[in-house]
Chains A and B, each alone.
Chain A
């Protein structure tokens, strides 16, 4: 079997705000009834993270659960654990109406780290990123420049961005250009 490689193979754009490709990241999309107790508990089992409410991402170490839509949850686990996690989900939700699919290699994850990371994101997304409105643990699906993307705040200085693999290079350059442009000083 061929070796998995991430879209940008760990590209880094260093600076006051560093843009860094996150490398291989296991991502499972789970669609189903998010109020279902079995679905909630298996999400917790595979990630260790609490179940997020609307618009949230809950993290546990490098694992996470992110609220994508009223019937879709994004599950982040290590790339090598995906098959095992899907097997657990299939077992827990047997007989129910759901979909669990491995999308790890269809997407890329990019980290934006640094003091004005918030402003880099605010330059690119039509989202109110004021510190009172968008806080660590908040998750948003939107667009960055011309492409669909989702991001969440890991902590005050770190955003994680996911996008489709085919536009990973564009998204990376977009974020790097935003970081290179410097702080705006708005927030």
Chain B
């Protein structure tokens, strides 16, 4: 069972209090993008075994979207952070580096 700390409420929310909202830090390609860019934006998703960044929504609580960094293989949670960011904050990256020294994910490492 996954327990994530909601950065807006400060509570440890059980998985059943939350709703998974897919991959984090997607860059939208809309009008004026190429077909390939739009295709990748719609359909191409990361499916890593290891470090992963996701969006979650505290659906039964405050209703806010937030981000979580976790390991898909061990379910270890490295941390959660606010939605108003384009990349993971440095302290989250440092925590991951301490435990998974050679991690990469998308353009982040």
| Residues of chain A whose beta carbon lies under 8 Å from any beta carbon of chain B | 54-55, 68-70, 72, 126-128, 140-143, 148
Contact = CB atoms under 8 A, between A and B. Distances in A.
- In this complex, which of B9, B10, B64 has the most chain A Cβ atoms within 10 angstroms of its Cβ? B9
Interface in B21-62: 60-62
Interface residues of B, number: 14
Given A55-B9, A69-B8, A126 B16 contact: yes
A69 B57 CA distance: 13
Contacts of A140: 11, 61
A142 B61 contact: yes
B8 A70 contact: yes
Interface of B: 8-14, 16-17, 60-64
Given A55-B9, A69-B61, A142-B61, 6 more contacts: A54-B9, A55-B11, A69-B63, A69-B64, A126-B14, A127-B11
Contact of B12 (A54, A69, A72, A128): A128
A69 B9 contact: yes
A70 B64 contact: yes
- In this complex, which of B8, B60, B62 has the most chain A Cβ atoms within 10 angstroms of its Cβ? B60
A142 B60 contact: yes
Nearest to B12: A128
A142 B17 contact: yes
22 contacts: A55-B9, A55-B10, A69-B61, A69-B63, A69-B64, A70-B8, A70-B62, A70-B64, A72-B62, A126-B14, A126-B17, A127-B11, A128-B12, A140-B61, A141-B60, A141-B62, A142-B13, A142-B17, A143-B16, A143-B17, A143-B60, A148-B60
- In this complex, which of A54, A55, A68, A141 has the most chain B Cβ atoms within 10 angstroms of its Cβ? A141
Q: What DSSP secondary structure best describes chain A's contact surface?
A: strand
Contact of A141 (B12, B14, B16, B61): B61
Nearest to A53: B10
Contacts of B10: 54-55
Contacts of B12: 128
Contacts of B14: 126-127
B42 to A, nearest CB: 31
A126 B64 CA distance: 18
A54 B61 CA distance: 12
A140 B10 CA distance: 11
A68 B62 contact: yes
Contacts of A68: 62
Contacts of A72: 62
Contacts of B8: 69-70
A120 B14 CA distance: 18
A82 to B, nearest CB: 23
A4 B57 CA distance: 35
